[in-house]
A = this chain, B = another copy of it.
Amino acid sequence: MIMSAYFDYLSGSPLDPRVLEAMMPFLKGVYGNSLSSHALGREAAKALKVSREKVAAFIGASPDEIIFTSGEVESNNLAVKGLLMVHENGQLLASAVEPLSILRPVEALEKWGFSASLIPVDANGQVRLSALEKLINRYTKLASVSWVVAETGIVQPIEAIADLVKESTSVPLHCDASLAARLFPVNVRDLNVDALTISSEILGGPSSVGALYLRDGLRIQPLLEGSPQEMGRRSGRENLAGIVGFAHSTELTISERQSRFNKLKQLDGYLKARLKEIPDLIINADLPSRTPGILSCRIEGLESEALLTHFDQAGIYASSGSPCASMIGKPSHVLKAMGFADQQASSSLNFSLSWETKISEIDEMIDTLSQSVIQLKTMTF
C-alpha cells in the first residue's frame, strides 16, 4: 500500500503513541473487574475512577455525570433512545444536519409513539433559530444539535440554541460535541446542555470508546442493562484499557488544544488557498465559522467518486462525505439539507486534516487533483 497523503481523519485517526503507552499496563497486567471487591478489582475500579474524573474535568462535568460508552454512535443512541423512552411517547427535535446516529434511532421508535421533527438549516448548514422556536411544542421531549457538522465543519450557534430551548421550555438539550472537543474548550455548565457526546478517537485516543455526559438528576432508560456498571446506566464490562486511553487523550487535548488549533488553522488556510487554484472548485459552506481542518468542496460536473479513484491510485486518501453516506451510495443528507441538488452533493469531496498533516501532503494532493480534473474533464466533455 502506497500512502502519500491522508485527508480522512474524521473516518479514522491514529492512536497517539503516548496514549497507547498509558493503555499498556491495562492490556498487559491489570485485568480485575471494577465490581469485584478484592484488591485486583479495586485496582481496576481506581483506574476507572481516575479516568472518569479526567473525562469529567475535560468538559466541566461531575464524575457521576459521565457514562462511558463504546463511542460516539452509542452515546448518541443512548441520548436519543434513552431520553425519549422514559416518556410514554413524544417528539425529538433534531437539526436536519445531525449525524445518522441521532436521526436513525427515532425511526425505530415510531411504532411506540415517537417521532422526529427536523430543524431546517440555511444554505450554510446552520440551524435556523426562528424555525427551532416555532417547532418546539408540548410533544417535544428532547432536542439535539451537534456542535460541529462533520461534513462541512460548520459550527452551530450552540449557545444561542441552548438559550432558546432553555428560555421557554424544560426540554432537555443534547449536543454531539465529538468534533468540537478537539478544537474548543467544552464546558457543559456554560453551554447549558443536559446531555453531551464526546468520543476518544478524534482526540488521538483509541477507537470505540466515548462518553455521554448526562446532567445530574436527568432520568435515562439504559440501552444496555444487566450488571450495575456506570451507576446502572450502561451495563457491561468496561473497556478499561480503552477508557484509560480515552482519559489520557483528553488530558493531552487540554494541554495541546491551542497549538493543535493553530496548526490546523495554518494548514487549513494553506489547503484552501491551494484548492482555489483548481478551476471551478467551490468550497461548500465557507463561513468564518467553519472549523479549521474540515473542508468540503465540489467541482460541479465531476463525480467525486471518479476523483477518489484517481486519488486512491496515487495513495491519496480523502472521502466523498461521511463514510456512511459513501457506503450507502446516497447523496449526503447534510448537503441535501443545505439545499444542494443531488448532482452537487455527489460532486462533493471531503478533506479532514490532523495537526500532524504535512504541507507536502497537501501539495501532493493538489498536484494529483489538478491532473485528475484535466483528465476527467477531457473524458466528460
Contacts and interface: CB of A to CB of B under 8 A. Distances in A.
Given A70-B70, A88-B111, A237 B328 contact: no
Given A31-B15, A70-B236, A38 B104 contact: no
Nearest to A35: B323
Interface stretch (A180-188, A223-231, A247-255, A295-303): A223-231
Interface stretch (A123-131, A277-285, A307-315): A307-315
B40 A6 contact: yes
Given A112-B112, A235-B101, A73 B224 contact: yes
Q: How many copies of this kind of chain does the complex include?
A: 2
Given A101-B236, A108-B222, A227-B73, A12 B28 contact: no
A322 B101 CA distance: 33
A32 B20 contact: no
A356 to B, nearest CB: 12
A35 B324 contact: yes
Contacts of A170: none
A240 B317 CA distance: 19
B20 A28 contact: yes
A12 B99 CA distance: 35
A105 B239 CA distance: 21
Contact of A35 (B3, B11, B43, B70): B11
Contact of A208 (B103, B227, B238): B238
Interface of A: 1-3, 6, 8, 11-15, 17, 20, 23, 27-29, 31-33, 35-41, 43-44, 70-74, 76-77, 85, 88, 99-105, 107-108, 111-112, 201, 206-208, 221-228, 235-242, 305, 308, 311-312, 315, 317-319, 322-324, 326-328
- Which 4 pairs between the two chains have the least Cβ-Cβ distance? A101-B226, A73-B236, A208-B239, A35-B323
